[in-house]
Each structure stands twice: as C-alpha cells, then as structure tokens.
Homo-oligomer: A and B are copies of this chain.
Amino acid sequence: MVKLNPHRFFDPDTTVRRIAAELYDTVKDMPIISPHGHVDPKLFADNRPFPNPAQLFIIPDHYVFRMLYSQGIPPAILGVPTVDGSATETDPRKIWQVLADHWYLFAGTPSGIWLSHELYEVFQVSCELNSDNAQKIYDELQEKLNSSEYLPRALFDSFNIEVLSTTDAAEDDLQAHQEIRKSGWQGNVVPSFRPDSVTDIARPDWLMSIQKLSLIIGKEITRYSDLVDALKYRRKYFIENGAKATDQGVLSPYAHLLSEDAAETIFQRALNREQTSADEEAFIAHMLMKMAEMSVEDGLVMQIHPGVLRNHNRIIFNKHGLDKGCDIPIQTEYTKNMQEFLNRFGNELNLTVILFTLDETVYSRELAPLAGHYPALKLGPAWWFNDSIEGMTRFRETITETAGFYNTVGFNDDTRAFPSIPARHDVARRVDANFLAGKVARHIISKSDAETIIRALTYDLVKKAYKF
C-alpha cells in the first residue's frame, strides 16, 4: 500500500509544521459538509456500481483531460463523448493507460493531488501508478468497484458526508432527489436552485428550457411575469425538497433593476430570438436583482459565480459540448458592478449572498473591503482553478486582514467527481491549518484562537452560511 505523508502540504519549518499538524488533527475527522457541487444525484438514487476506472476518473473530469489535451492528446482518445455521437475510444483499459503514461504532467497540480488521494487513500491500490503497472492497478480498481463497499451510497457514508448539495436546473423535476428520499437511505442529499438556463436569455437553448419550465409548472410562459411566477413557484418546490441555496453563473456580476415594462419588452424580443446583446446583459443584470428579491422573501442563500468565458475553444465545444476544459476566466469588476445590488440588498440582515471569483486581483482590492462592510455579503472559497494549495493560501493571505475569517463561508468542493470529495476537503483542511499555524508561529493569532477558527472554517461557518 502507498502511504501519503501525514504532514503533506504543511510548511517545512518545524514549528509551523507541528502547529499545523495539531490544528489539522482537531478537524481531520469532522463530517464533510458539501454545500455546493455538481455530483449527479442519480448516483445515489440508483446506487449502481461505477462501471470502470476510466469512467470514474477520466472521462467525466475536465480537469484531467484538459491537461492531457494541452499536450496534444485529443479528448476522443480519452473516450470523451461527442455531440454527434461519432466514435471515440471505447476501451477503458486503453484510456487508463494514456493517463498512466502521462501521469508526470500532473506533478504539482491539484488534479494530481486529488487523484493520488483517491488511488492511495480511497481505493488503497498497492503501488504508485506508472506506465508499467497501469493495467495491474486497473484490475485492483475494477475489483473494488465491483464490491459493495464502493457503491455510491457506501462511499457517501464512509466519506462521512453530513450533507451534500447538488446543483439543479430550475426546470429539473428533482426526481432523483425524491427517489433518494423514498428509498429509505439516510444520506442527506439536497438540491440547489440554478435558474441560468431560463434567466440567461443569451443561451442558444433558452427557448427550449423555457418550454421545459412551462411543462413542469403546467402553464405556458409567455410573459416576463410568468417567468417570475414560475421561478417563485419552483423555488418553493426546491425548498420543499430540501434546497437551502440558489446559484447563478454570470459573465459579469453587474446587477441593475429594470422597470417591469422594460423587462417585459426584452423578454418578448427574447421569445422571438430577436434580443440584442445589450438586451441580454440588461436582462441578466435584472434577474440578479430579482433573484435577490426572492431570496429576501423565501430565505434561500444566494450564490453568484461570475467571470468565466465558457467554451472558449469552439472546436472542442462543437465536437464535445459543454464543460470540456475550455472555459477561461476573464477580468471581473465587482465594486461598481454590484453597487446597486449591494445598496439594495447588502444591508439586509437576514439575507446571505455568497460571492465567488476566478479573478484573484479582486480579493484584496474589492471583495475583502466589500465583505468587510456589507452584512449580507460573504465570500465563497477559492474557486475552480484557484481550488489548490497555493490558490487557497493566496485567498486567505489577501482576504483575511481586511475581511477577517468570519465573512468567509468555509469550503466548497464544487466537484463533479464524487470520489474526489474527501481529497478536496482534506486539502482545504490542511491548507487552512497550515495558514493558521503560520499566523500562530508569528504570534499574530493565539493557538487557542486558531483552534476555534480551524473548526469554524471546516464546519461551523459553512453550516451557518448555508443554513444547514
């Protein structure tokens, strides 16, 4: 068995390392709260075995195949499905071998760290992956995947997950969530409300999503006010099914309330697919305001994920579709873009708005000063490309002095890769422990304060922020 160093990721300085290890020990076995992510709830409704290592670790993980593609390995060779159904590699053993042959590319990356944790801690394979032993390890993994201990629900329990939130479209019927509840299994899996498909009129499939939403509410949506009613209705339904939060992905966090008439006019143009790009920007900005209004009413926590230019590489997008590793961050401005939003909603004492960014330049300049003032505003953890040892460390280093610890909300794994959940939470706990240990060793905070804070970052703050 491969043993990962128990003090991994801690500072080499012996004082800091010792304190980090002590702090980490107090939280390493705490339950996982996963308040935001993209695991498919069907996994737990069906509770079927994962088919094979390639299907589990490679084919659905854009972190993995984007890196392989950057070195010239096309997604089709890795079995990534195509939009038109054209052939891709179907032999999972061959796909697995490609990963093993290029394992060196992942040195120093979060993907490398997570996969190592999965292989050596979760699946406890017998030796370190390399080209030569790739098929032997494949066999070991396949054997485990066939066993009952590695079924999704069994893993959920062994991962010590207290609650897992999925992300679900406004028009989703939440059938998988209902099946989970009906099944009698005690795992706490709840939905989150993501309205982008019906609020983002720029999407090519927006009309189709509106039609789906019409179907599910049993009433045709022909006016802007119908959409608002539908959203309220669906939010209620999500809340009945356990949802605590919403989530919106927007190119810019710009928010601005339109008059009802102006919103209606744009909505009608959108129905005819005649909206301008100014219409699109205005409507999305308007819907951020409306969603906050609804959150003030119904208590759902509001998450905002801005600043990604999706599907930057049209060749990959046209061949393989969404979420294929070609989403690229852009510079994102919050101070001016969110002024109307924060003036209207930032002072609400019983609203929580959790803001994320991929643009690290705003941590110290904009986000920490905003979160260090507005009571409704909290900062989500280092996101996506920044969900890494150095990325999380930079987040704490640039946020803490202005926003403190208590205007942040603990960790989100944000993953599609279910077996990576313990790895991701473990890295976050180690990084936070190490960050705090550095502060203790420099006499900036006391050891006993650090003990309270590490628990808050691991558990208390996330539970409070997301109202679990």
Write the chain B residue with the least CB distance to A456: B104
Question: How many Å lie between the Cα of A349 and that of B390 in the bound state?
Answer: 31
In the complex, the answer to whether B330 meets A444 with C-beta atoms within 8 Å is no
With contacts A104-B452, A390-B398, A401-B390 taken as known, whether A385 is within 8 angstroms of B368 at the C-beta atoms is: yes
Q: Is A449 an interface residue (CB 8 A)?
A: yes
Interface string of A1-30 (1 = CB under 8 A from B): 000110111111101100000000000000
Write the chain B residue with the least CB distance to A314: B343
Q: Is A136 an interface residue (CB 8 A)?
A: no
In the complex, the answer to whether B361 meets A365 with C-beta atoms within 8 Å is yes
Q: Give residues 272-326 of A contacting B (CB, 8 Å).
A: 309, 312-316, 325-326
With contacts A342-B312, A401-B389 taken as known, whether A69 is within 8 angstroms of B373 at the C-beta atoms is: yes
Q: Is A329 an interface residue (CB 8 A)?
A: yes
In the complex, the answer to whether B364 meets A313 with C-beta atoms within 8 Å is no
In the complex, the answer to whether B372 meets A343 with C-beta atoms within 8 Å is no
Q: Give residues 349-393 of A contacting B (CB, 8 Å).
A: 349, 358-361, 364-366, 368-375, 377, 385-386, 388-391
Question: How many Å lie between the Cα of A444 and that of B405 in the bound state?
Answer: 26
In the complex, the answer to whether B330 meets A366 with C-beta atoms within 8 Å is yes
Instruction: State the Cβ distance, A275 to closest chain B Cβ, in Å.
Output: 21
With contacts A13-B12, A309-B335, A364-B360 taken as known, whether A349 is within 8 angstroms of B110 at the C-beta atoms is: no
Question: How many Å lie between the Cα of A390 and that of B329 in the bound state?
Answer: 25
Q: Give residues 88-116 of A contacting B (CB, 8 Å).
A: 104-110, 113
In the complex, the answer to whether A364 meets B335 with C-beta atoms within 8 Å is no
With contacts A9-B444, A107-B445 taken as known, whether A404 is within 8 angstroms of B373 at the C-beta atoms is: no
Q: Is A407 an interface residue (CB 8 A)?
A: yes
With contacts A71-B406, A444-B389 taken as known, whether A109 is within 8 angstroms of B401 at the C-beta atoms is: yes
In the complex, the answer to whether A364 meets B391 with C-beta atoms within 8 Å is yes
Instruction: State the Cβ distance, A28 to closest chain B Cβ, in Å.
Output: 16
Q: Is A333 an interface residue (CB 8 A)?
A: yes
Q: Is A214 an interface residue (CB 8 A)?
A: no
Question: How many Å lie between the Cα of A4 and that of B360 in the bound state?
Answer: 33
In the complex, the answer to whether B364 meets A443 with C-beta atoms within 8 Å is no
In the complex, the answer to whether A404 meets B13 with C-beta atoms within 8 Å is no
Interface string of A234-252 (1 = CB under 8 A from B): 0000000000000000000
Interface residues of A (CB under 8 A from B): 4-5, 7-13, 15-16, 66-67, 69-72, 104-110, 113, 309, 312-316, 325-331, 333, 335-336, 339, 342-343, 346-347, 349, 358-361, 364-366, 368-375, 377, 385-386, 388-391, 397-398, 400-407, 438-439, 441-445, 449, 452-453
**What are 29 A-B contacts defined by CB distance under 8 Å?**
A13-B13, A66-B373, A67-B372, A70-B371, A70-B373, A70-B403, A70-B404, A104-B452, A108-B400, A109-B404, A113-B444, A309-B336, A312-B335, A312-B343, A313-B346, A314-B343, A325-B373, A328-B366, A328-B370, A329-B369, A330-B333, A358-B365, A361-B361, A361-B365, A368-B385, A369-B385, A385-B402, A389-B401, A390-B400
Given A113-B444, A309-B335, 13 more A-B residue pairs with CB atoms under 8 Å apart are A7-B443, A12-B15, A70-B375, A105-B406, A108-B404, A108-B445, A330-B336, A331-B333, A331-B361, A360-B365, A390-B397, A390-B400, A390-B401
* For the complex of A and B, 4 pairs with smallest distance between CB atoms: A8-B443, A12-B441, A5-B443, A388-B401
